[in-house]
Amino acid sequence: MLMVSLALVVAACSSNEPKADDVPVEEVVAEANSGDEQAEAGAETAEMSVEAKLEAAANGAHRSEKNRARNAYRHPVETLLFFGLEDDMQVVELWPGGGWYSEVLAPVLADQGKLVAGNMLDDPEDPEHYYSRIARSYEAWVGEHTDTLGEVEVGTFWPPSQVEVGGPESADMVLTFRSMHGWYRNGILNDVLAAAYDTLKPGGIFGVVQHRAAPGSNPDETAPLGYLPQDFVIEQVEAAGFELVESSEINANPKDTRDYEEGVWALPPSLRGGEEGAERFLEIGESDRMTLKFVKKAD
């Protein structure tokens, strides 16, 4: 855990606690030493490199064994270092879903930076919709885990009608993980990119991880399967005013043939086809993914 809870300090100062002169001297000394150790631990955390903080968060006990197992496929430490994450940034994560990446980002940013989550819309007219349920679940989860996540700001990201992610030119970095195919299918990709551009400071980073279709594929055909061609994504993002800085093969998987009846969801962790063929899909692993780093060009 990267954060030291203030509850310890509050408890030590409580008027219900025994006064020092009512406690054996050995206990007073032990308590003082404990306070020194906490201060030293806090100082050590502050001095940790961003890479070390990411490693601690990615492999922390606050994450489930199931989520930690996905590190082998999603490479969160390498991916976030590639994007240039620093622990004093204001970072916006668009559509964080169940919070897989938030578990890594939030503890690293808690002390000096800030994580802003662009959550899905909890539609009061359709509260049982998939998106509504995810939105409520994520917000509740954030509220219940401030001890490890810190104070995550949760807004609604539902462009073009609702974009509550910190305000114009407020973010140092905007990140999206495996969501672009859905935005394209819903006809809002351009709205999403415009909102990301407006939210970033000049020179800010837009980081993209997306399931990758075969080169030259038709996005209208691949998006329903969860994939988009890399050249198409670059073209769309650059048309929104960004400049491609670098691409990486951190999240590449040449075993992914992208031709499954259930689309990308045939692969783990979804395994939508059930037990039939599961062994084959587990052998393939998670999808082949592009990892792209863009910058908002200064005016």
Segment (H or E) for 109 = helix 102-109
- Span of 44-58, 90-104, 119-133, 252-266 with lowest mean pLDDT: 44-58
Bigger pLDDT: 207 or 7?
207
At a CB cut-off of 8 Å and minimum separation 6, what does 82 contact? 207, 246, 248, 250, 291, 293
Apex CA 250: angle with CA 248 and CA 252, to 5°?
95
Domain 50-296 fold is Rossmann fold (3.40.50)
Domain range summary for the chain, segments of one domain joined by +: 1-47, 50-296
Phi-psi label, residue 277: left if phi above 0, alpha if psi -120 to 50, beta otherwise: left
Distance CA 105, CA 171 (A): 14
Average pLDDT, the chain: 88
Query: What mean pLDDT is predicted for residues 261-276?
Result: 92
Residue 147 has pLDDT above 90, yes or no: yes
3-state secondary structure of 90: strand
Q: What is the pLDDT of residue 1?
A: 45
Distance CA 210, CA 226 (A): 9
Distance CA 211, CA 252 (A): 9
Residue 19 has pLDDT above 60, yes or no: no
Please give the share of the chain, as a percent, with pLDDT higher than 70: 84
CA proximity to 117, closest of 34, 73, 71, 174: 174
Residue 24 has pLDDT above 90, yes or no: no
The owner of tokens 């043939």 is 257
Q: What is the pLDDT of residue 45?
A: 60
CA distances, 238 to each of 170, 180, 186 (Å): 20, 14, 20
